Structure 1
């Protein structure tokens, strides 16, 4: 497919972006840098100011944005937020143009992705669920992993848009498949974060230099994003959110519920969720996930 063509539309296709938080802001900026005209809406306009000063256009409501653009991308917080922006007379699906594309990049429920897809299809709108992984670093550098569910034809048509935000972009299957893949991703991270924290605390108690330990173990069989990227933040006492504790709790809760629906036991996930809930109760809900180490020190 020719770069920059989206079902007859060029890179002048208007993209609406709903949600410009830690991740969304960088993702929208990368779209702008790729040459797409970007229109933004977020509940708190101040969060979009950086984008507006760099050329994004502010739209007052989700309804107006949906009517104005060719592609709507959502990157909000919780499934309840997804429902709020997609459904109802003022939502995306009631107001998006026929033949347009709606892409939810929030980590949300697979069943909700299917519901959006079905209602969109009934209105001749192309819907994809495309959650991401890579944190604030991946969002800033445009190297996110993007896991996509929905029709293969729609995926191919908007692939250049995904390529502006990520580099590991895989169509996983039908509607909801992207969300299921992201939940598998979060299940992997859940137990891994406990291991990273325990390793760092162990190294300190053994009288080792934890930075030197990280240099050794982050390049061997124990290597992971959490170890190499979040481990150093733990050592520096940097608990600013690349990914919020409260959002990780949301993701793990959805994953646990989904696993239970399939009759599957996930003890590692359950333990991580328990620990992160304790961390949030200690006032760390708005910290980055690396703040887990505070429970162990």
Structure 2
């Protein structure tokens, strides 16, 4: 924790360079940890409650160069009101000072979530495309050795191969790829997204499948209608759901050991999709 404090203190000393209107009048004071996710900790700034500092404490991305890509996508999104505003970025220590938005005790509206996903898909294209084959194989390499053979059988399931091929053929758009409840906040009545480290060009159907997982079945049609102009492709919806579920389960094997599901349960998991 001492090293983290030193890194954050160094960032706070650059306060005159921060992109803020109006500018700060005094050096910020580091506060306490007020939120922590699988990869980041958020710190309050004691004399600037509208700001927070985000420090990476563990990488949950398997692809090199993810931080630079995240900041690029986050900046585009913030410019459109789809993400918190960024005040300062330390690229070396991977620290971000940004607008502080506090979670609200209200359920996620399916239509607002769909509108957010749709707006993200209209952001400028980037050079990086999400390779779902690589993501799955990278996760598989991190799975504990004792369970790896069983998960290898899951990955080799012909339904997985077919779903990946369908998604690969879909026209790519910029996607957030992690629009889960923990990455959604309200800015007044506007739903916005945080944690853009998985943002990349890819299939909208994978993106919406990740977002749709926690939604009640009765809300999913309204969500999809808010995302797509046209009638959603039912085969791509099914493919997205299958691969999203597999990626979530493999991610949990690697990074969230409190939520583990045995590979033997995959047949039931996949049939429910």
Fold in common (TM above 0.5): no
Name which structure has the greater RCO, CA cutoff 8 Å, separation 6+.
2
Which structure features the higher share of helix residues? 1
The normalised TM-score by structure 1 is 0.27
